[in-house]
Amino acid sequence: MNEHQSESSTSTFSETTATIREAARGVRHTLEDGTAPGQWKAILSDLVREAPLPSLAVAFMIGVIAARR
């Protein structure tokens, strides 16, 4: 591979990465705008974002309890 091909693939990769990041940022802003603060979904989303492992443990325990019934 020569130097020109390497620069071309690097710039293509950089452009693709920037495009994906911009799309993700747009989706995140759209989701945040659509969620009214104070609703249970917004509160739960904030809790999971702040403490993902404890939230996963609680969800697992709820699943175990529900499965035993």
pTM assigned to the model: 0.39
The model's pLDDT over 34-46, given as tens digits with 9 standing for 90+, comes to: 766 678 877 877 7
Closest CA to 42 of 56, 30, 32, 50: 32
Closest CA to 58 of 69, 46, 68, 47: 47
Of the chain, the percentage scoring pLDDT greater than 90 comes to: 12
Residue whose tokens read 């710039």 = 11
The model's pLDDT over 1-32, given as tens digits with 9 standing for 90+, comes to: 555 555 566 788 888 888 999 998 888 887 77
